[in-house]
Structure 1
Amino acid sequence: MTYRFFISLLFFLLAQTVSADSLTLATLRADLGSGSLQPVLARQTLVPVPDRVLARWVQDVDIEQFAITGFNENRKRFAARIRLHFSDGGVGFLRLEGEPGARYRLTEWYDYSSGLQLSELVSYGDRFQAGRGKAFLTMLQDNPGSAELADLAAGQPALLALWLVQCTGQPCEEQALAAQAETGKPALWQLKHALMASDQNAYREISGQLHLALGDDPYLWWLEGQLALSHQRCDWAHSPLRQAWQRYPENRSLADVALQCHLVMSQRGTAFLDKLSEELGADALAMAIHRYYQQQDAAIPAIYRPWTQPGEK
């Protein structure tokens, strides 16, 4: 209960209106507008971790777009909630906290993809420079698929999260994902873990925590749809996805993933297709349906064929 209250309070604070002349906000926008996380990472000087590791905290790709979806500050502190759109099509979410001003300083950073948190890296401290910590970083760089990493991490959340970040999109991702430990903080990897374990209750719980922390973000719903499709679990997600799209009908990415999950679920009716046709246009919907079944190398069911004729629905 305390955790849920804290997240609710943080969301409330982030949602408050902030003066448009905030120097912190202007500088943060400029840093993110560079297309790289390096200017933001440079705002912290607390963690003795090599730059090559810090640069991979979220994803080691260029930022194509960003949105500051929540921001609040007073004279001593600021907090920001950020959505990042990467050039490879991926989406990530961050929470930043720190000391405000034109030369703002980061004192906390939380990556909702991997669960990596700045304060946990700080707590590990000088151990990165010798012994198991140094051996872990070396192995992480040279051989991220090594089974030795689990032993070297020794259950440390910061090390396990670094491992997961390093392996995102790589063959070692499943191995790193399996090694993660529960931390009590919501992260997207937990959704993947629940899907892999076929644990619907855990999936619902983590999804709720993420939406509580990040708000009703259409791209969070899009990510959930992508995960549901890749793990063949649209039966868990198709209804919330349709409802989310109806709240954000202008979001084409969300419309596409909601449509795909709808088509995966065998003949769930056509009312949703009518709504998509009205919003997107009959031609766009027809193309999307054709594209989906071509990718599946499957025939279009008879019930959906009227929506595959451009301009007729």
Structure 2
Amino acid sequence: MTDRFFLSLLFFLLAQTVFADSRTLVSLRADLGSGSLQPVLARQALVPVPDRVLARWVQDVDIEQFAITGFNENRDRFAARVRLHFSDGGVGFLRLEGEPGARYRLTEWYDYSSGLQLSDLASYGDEFEAGKGKAFLTMLQDSPGAAELADLAAGEPALLALWLAQCSGQPCEEQALAAQTGTGKPAVWQLKQALMASEQNAYREISGKLHVAIGDDPYLWWLEGQFALSHERCGWVHSALRQAWLRHPDNRPLADVALQCHLAMMQQGTAFLDALSESLGADALAIAIRRYYQQQNVSIPADYQPWAQPGEK
């Protein structure tokens, strides 16, 4: 048992060293550190269109920070899981695959937010140059909120995902989201749609698949909490959010959304609030509780008064 543990530890340390010295990782970090997705998109070797055109398809947003949450590589291939934090406060998740090296080339790109996958777009080929495909791209660029886009992209999940990616954070996002159809691949938009449609079983299935694909990422839990609060579905997620925060006690956004769902459900018991008070400090917890009820424009319930007083429990 001791020898097996030692060999496993040695393999882990060697793998960490290889990844730390990876020329692919160095280049990927430099590209993401530019604050834009365009340098990464310029590495793609799949969709046969100019990079400047592809960059228009995938809305470029300012990257405030990023984290490479998963990475593996061999001589021929690499795969990376990336979390992006945007300057507008949003969070996105990508899976990148391709040929490794300092001049790595992407042969796959999957956006977990919209479900956009480069290989799906590549299958269209010349169809983007004429007819329905060209009309869709032209309208997407000129009028992304046009109702006609739903008809042009009907039955084409890749085009629908492209529409949603282009409209992320924009007024047209609601239209694009309503038009989406399932593809069997996990996507964050499916969480929002299931919560909006009150489909608890669908939500649990989608949530499980996403956490398998993305991992136990505190910011994915944070997003779920935000969606649940927006659609008054904290009853579905409050327990999972508390457990996720216990695994990631240093993540303040997750703590905040878990607290809000806890308060929305009027949960009894003190263990969670005690844990938050110990981790965040009594004063910080008191401020968060008072702010929540001020936003709701209601009085703080008597059960929560002890935690709403600065310096007290």
String of CA shifts for 1:159-213, please: whole Å, max 9, x gaps. Answer: 1001112222233222211211111100001111111111000000000000000
Partner of 1:177: 177
Q: Is the 8 A contact 2:245 2:254 kept in 1?
A: yes
Shift of 1:49: 4.9
In 1, Cα distance between equivalents of 2:53 and 2:64: 21
Greater mean alpha carbon deviation, residues 198-207 or residues 166-175: 166-175
Instruction: Please tell me whether residue 78 in structure 1 is matched to residue 78 in structure 2.
Output: yes
Partner of 1:54: 55
In 1, Cα distance between equivalents of 2:49 and 2:311: 57
In 2, Cα distance between equivalents of 1:142 and 1:19: 43
Partner of 1:116: 116
Q: Is the 8 A contact 1:139 1:146 kept in 2?
A: yes
- Unpaired segments ≥5 residues, structure 1: 1-15
Partner of 1:64: 64
Q: Which structure has more RCO (C-alpha within 8 Å, separation ≥ 6)?
A: 1
In 1, Cα distance between equivalents of 2:21 and 2:121: 33
Partner of 1:266: 266
Greater mean alpha carbon deviation, residues 220-229 or residues 18-27: 18-27
Alignment of 1:162-201 (within 5 A): 162-201=162-201
Q: Partner of 2:76: helix, strand, or coil?
A: coil
Q: Is the 8 A contact 2:44 2:106 kept in 1?
A: yes
Shift of 1:56: 5.5
In 1, Cα distance between equivalents of 2:276 and 2:184: 38
String of CA shifts for 1:52-91, please: whole Å, max 9, x gaps. Answer: 653563x532111111011111111100000001111111
Provide closer, same or farther for how the CA distance between residues 292 and 60 of structure 1 changes in structure 2, counting only shifts above 3 A: farther
Greater mean alpha carbon deviation, residues 87-96 or residues 42-51: 42-51
Alignment of 1:222-301 (within 5 A): 222-301=222-301
In 1, Cα distance between equivalents of 2:48 and 2:136: 14
Paired residue type of 2:74: N
Q: How many residues align?
A: 297
Shift of 1:119: 0.2
Paired residue type of 1:75: R
Partner of 1:128: 128
Q: Is the 8 A contact 2:238 2:261 kept in 1?
A: yes
Greater mean alpha carbon deviation, residues 167-176 or residues 283-292: 167-176
Paired residue type of 1:289: I
Greater mean alpha carbon deviation, residues 191-200 or residues 111-120: 191-200
Paired residue type of 1:165: A
In 2, Cα distance between equivalents of 1:20 and 1:255: 31
In 2, Cα distance between equivalents of 1:53 and 1:231: 34
Q: Is the 8 A contact 2:46 2:108 kept in 1?
A: no
Greater mean alpha carbon deviation, residues 163-172 or residues 203-212: 163-172
Paired residue type of 2:159: L
Greater mean alpha carbon deviation, residues 149-158 or residues 45-54: 45-54
Q: Is the 8 A contact 2:19 2:72 kept in 1?
A: no
In 1, Cα distance between equivalents of 2:53 and 2:304: 50
Q: Is the 8 A contact 2:83 2:94 kept in 1?
A: yes
In 2, Cα distance between equivalents of 1:267 and 1:182: 35
CA RMSD of aligned residues (A): 1.5
Shift of 1:48: 4.2
**TM-score, reference length from structure 2:** 0.91
Percent of aligned pairs with the same residue? 81
- Unpaired segments ≥5 residues, structure 2: 1-14
In 2, Cα distance between equivalents of 1:56 and 1:278: 47
In 1, Cα distance between equivalents of 2:225 and 2:34: 30
Q: Is the 8 A contact 2:285 2:308 kept in 1?
A: yes
Q: Is the 8 A contact 1:262 1:268 kept in 2?
A: no
**TM-score, reference length from structure 1:** 0.91
Provide closer, same or farther for how the CA distance between residues 181 and 49 of structure 1 changes in structure 2, counting only shifts above 3 A: farther
Larger Rg: 2
Shift of 1:21: 1.1
Q: Is the 8 A contact 2:99 2:107 kept in 1?
A: yes
In 2, Cα distance between equivalents of 1:267 and 1:238: 9
Greater mean alpha carbon deviation, residues 196-205 or residues 163-172: 163-172
